[in-house]
Amino acid sequence: MLGLIAMQAEIKSARNMRIALAAMILTLSVTVLACGKGPNSTQVQNEKLMNSRIIRSISEARTEISRSDVTHGLELNIADELWRDPPGAKITGVNMAVIGVDILARGLEPDGYEQKVGYRVYKYKPSNK
């Protein structure tokens, strides 16, 4: 009889622990959403918009450079496959060299880059000439 009572007590304790755990998870979820830590529709839309503007060819890059207002600088989202050289390439850096010539011709100079998933954001600022 004592064994049955002990078993019922363990079941009740386990049930209470599950309820407490579920309450903690719910509280944490509500807190994260209330603080804006979860992705909202605006963030998702902005990421989709940014991904649609990734430059994947030299001609796209040259067009973007020539038509952009570069008064305050320029940022280009260059796809990894455009700036990376294929393994075993005999000549390296040709794509970025061609893009660089156009950048210099517009009176800009490199100002760093930021690596993203699948592309880099290359930043250029007006040169001090």
pLDDT digit string (tens) for 109-129? 999 999 999 999 999 999 986
Domain boundaries of the chain, sorted by first residue = 2-38, 54-126
Looking at residue 128, its pLDDT comes to: 81
End-to-end CA distance of the chain: 94
Amino acid at position 106, single letter? R
Query: What was the pLDDT predicted at 93?
Result: 87
Q: Which residues of the chain have pLDDT under 50?
A: 37, 45
Global confidence as pTM = 0.58
pLDDT at position 5 is 72
The confidence score (pLDDT) of residue 120 equals 94
* pLDDT at residue 40 in the model: 53
Phi, psi of 57 (to 5 degrees): -145, 160
Cα distance between residue 53 and residue 102, in whole Å: 19
| pLDDT value at residue 13 | 72
